[in-house]
Chain A
Amino acid sequence: MAYPAGFKYTKDHEWIELSGDEGKVGITDFAQAQLGDVVYLELPEVGTVLKAGQTFGNIESVKAVSELYAPVSGEVVEVNAALKEKPEAVNSDPHASWMVVIKLSDLSETGTLLDVTQYSDLVK
């Protein structure tokens, strides 16, 4: 599966799709393949304030549970409640399965994220 060119990525296999000072956050195709069948998502409340690298939730596959890490600092302004009801979508369409929207508190942090070429090299 191709990684969207417009997204930024982390070494922990999250992606963020930036739009102005907000970004939708999800996990990459590589991450979902490692997890296996996703069955449960634990996501934060709207209003939660996160630091980059901080855990914002958990994703559970049949096999195991993994933490979700915030790619950037900011406030959670939206949570994808529909995805919580259909967590298997993370497997079938990982790059459309956003989990939260973070309003960035420091736009300069995006400079530390990986672009699509760097991320594709990482998981090659």
Chain B
Amino acid sequence: MDQATDAPLKKTPLNARHRALGARMVPFGGWDMPVEYSGITAEHLAVRERAGLFDVSHMGQIEIAGSNALDAVQRISCNDASKLQIGQAQYSGLLTPAGTFVDDLLVYRLGPQHFMLVVNASHIEKDFAVISEGITPAGDAVAVNVSARYALIAVQGPKALEIVQPLTGIDLASMKYYWFAHGEIAHVRGTVSRTGYTGEDGFEIFVPPQQADAVWLALMASGEQFGMIPCGLGARDTLRLEAAMSLHGNDIDDTRTPVEAGLDWIVGWKKDSFVGSDVLKQQKADGTAQKLIGFEMIDRGIGRQGYTIYSGEEAVGVVTSGTQTPYLKKAIGLGYVSAALAVPGTEIDIDIRGRRLKAKVVPTPFYKRTK
């Protein structure tokens, strides 16, 4: 991670709650976070079948406002923020001039010229510096790191709507995916967004840190009859991987572009130039040497991050994420291979600690909710 390892770990407003619940805590991106409570498998299955509650308060928030805020956001993010209506969010990338990922993020349009970016925990300071510099040419727009103003709690799973709705006057049933609204949740002013990182329906709830524990307890009480349980970062990782959602630091980083990562759909191809746009357009026209693929193991074994991928005797790429998934009960993963091999059905070999084990390229996502 970027922070010095001897720096004290930061704590979310729910840290004491996690410890009281007996969570196993680990350092993650400079934060002291729960990796699991009852076990990754149980937590993963709860989210697929019922619901899970996550503390994701370590995520950062950066607001951009000013009369040229839209222009500012358009310059520094790769997706087309002009398509957003007020109350709508989009997945996007903060890129280097080489088109590679400084970070991935969600862009929320709070007002005509007012945006909030939700960024990864370990990159808050770096992102803020890159954004502050990148928006300068836009003129009247400022970026403010408002991460300390928010706790962020996610309720994910098919029962999420039934669990959150009784606690708020916001009409959640009519809220579309990737939309959000402000209101009261468990008697606390906040924002509810129909987003998540699990491949399930669900909500992410922004509330002031001082009230985070009260909201957490209200959600736990509301979720009890539906079998909702608290979930840690371990299940969050296996859930997002089944849904083939990229993780920065694994599947995307400052050596990979959205085109290589199969994220062409978060590039605003029709908007004016933005940081990295020249490279992306070139890659779209010429293709890239490598592409991100999903794979499933044929032989028994788990291909994990950093393992080399072979086609015959030739090293053709690297695994970026891999696990045995609790729900599909298969060993799956993501990795980069030569573009010619990025075709479902192609057999590859993965060097698993000195043994070459067979795998095949499969379509992603591995898991898609039925609805």
With an 8 A cutoff between CB atoms, is B79 at the interface?
Answer: no
Residues B41 and A37 in contact, CB atoms below 8 Å apart = yes
Q: Which of B136-144, B175-183, B210-218, B300-308 participates in binding chain A?
A: B300-308
Residues A62 and B326 in contact, CB atoms below 8 Å apart = yes
Residues B304 and A62 in contact, CB atoms below 8 Å apart = no
Residues A42 and B301 in contact, CB atoms below 8 Å apart = yes
Once bound together, how far apart are the Cα atoms of A61 and B35, in whole Å?
Answer: 13
Q: Quick one: closest A residue to B304, CB to CB?
A: A65
* Contact size range, A: 10 to 19
Contacts of A124 in B (CB 8 A): none
* Option from B44, B234, B301, B326 in Cβ contact (under 8 Å) with A40: B301
Distance from A45 Cβ to chain B, minimum over Cβ atoms (Å) = 13
Residues B39 and A40 in contact, CB atoms below 8 Å apart = no
Residues B35 and A63 in contact, CB atoms below 8 Å apart = yes
Once bound together, how far apart are the Cα atoms of A39 and B304, in whole Å?
Answer: 13
Contacts of A37 in B (CB 8 A): 39-41, 326
A-B pair number, CB within 8 angstroms: 40
Once bound together, how far apart are the Cα atoms of A65 and B39, in whole Å?
Answer: 16
Residues B302 and A36 in contact, CB atoms below 8 Å apart = no
With an 8 A cutoff between CB atoms, is A118 at the interface?
Answer: no
Residues B324 and A36 in contact, CB atoms below 8 Å apart = no
Once bound together, how far apart are the Cα atoms of A37 and B323, in whole Å?
Answer: 12
Once bound together, how far apart are the Cα atoms of A40 and B326, in whole Å?
Answer: 12
Once bound together, how far apart are the Cα atoms of A34 and B281, in whole Å?
Answer: 47
Chain A residues 50 to 68 lying within 8 A of chain B, measured CB to CB, are: 58, 60-65
Once bound together, how far apart are the Cα atoms of A74 and B41, in whole Å?
Answer: 36
Q: Quick one: closest A residue to B237, CB to CB?
A: A63
Contacts of B24 in A (CB 8 A): 36
Once bound together, how far apart are the Cα atoms of A61 and B36, in whole Å?
Answer: 13
Please tell me the number of chain B residues within 8 Å of chain A, measured between CB atoms: 18
Once bound together, how far apart are the Cα atoms of A42 and B299, in whole Å?
Answer: 12
Q: Quick one: closest B residue to A67, CB to CB?
A: B353
Q: Decide yes or no: A65 and B40 within 8 Å by CB, A39-B324, A60-B324 being known contacts.
A: no
Chain B residues 35 to 83 lying within 8 A of chain A, measured CB to CB, are: 35-36, 39-41, 44
Once bound together, how far apart are the Cα atoms of A14 and B315, in whole Å?
Answer: 36
Distance from A31 Cβ to chain B, minimum over Cβ atoms (Å) = 14
With an 8 A cutoff between CB atoms, is B92 at the interface?
Answer: no
Distance from A6 Cβ to chain B, minimum over Cβ atoms (Å) = 29
1/0 contact trace for B327-371 toward A, CB 8 Å?
Answer: 000010000000000000000000001000000000000000000
Known: A36-B234, A62-B41, A63-B234. 9 other contacts (CB 8 A): A36-B24, A40-B300, A42-B353, A62-B40, A62-B234, A62-B238, A62-B323, A63-B35, A65-B302
Q: Quick one: closest A residue to B234, CB to CB?
A: A63
Once bound together, how far apart are the Cα atoms of A94 and B234, in whole Å?
Answer: 22
Distance from B324 Cβ to chain A, minimum over Cβ atoms (Å) = 4
Contacts of B331 in A (CB 8 A): 40
Once bound together, how far apart are the Cα atoms of A78 and B234, in whole Å?
Answer: 34
Residues A60 and B302 in contact, CB atoms below 8 Å apart = yes
Q: Quick one: closest A residue to B326, CB to CB?
A: A62
1/0 contact trace for B19-35 toward A, CB 8 Å?
Answer: 00000100000000001
Once bound together, how far apart are the Cα atoms of A65 and B40, in whole Å?
Answer: 15
Distance from B26 Cβ to chain A, minimum over Cβ atoms (Å) = 10
Contacts of A36 in B (CB 8 A): 24, 35-36, 39-40, 234
Contacts of B44 in A (CB 8 A): 62
Contacts of A39 in B (CB 8 A): 302, 324
Distance from A41 Cβ to chain B, minimum over Cβ atoms (Å) = 10
Once bound together, how far apart are the Cα atoms of A64 and B322, in whole Å?
Answer: 10
Distance from B329 Cβ to chain A, minimum over Cβ atoms (Å) = 9
Contacts of B40 in A (CB 8 A): 36-37, 61-63
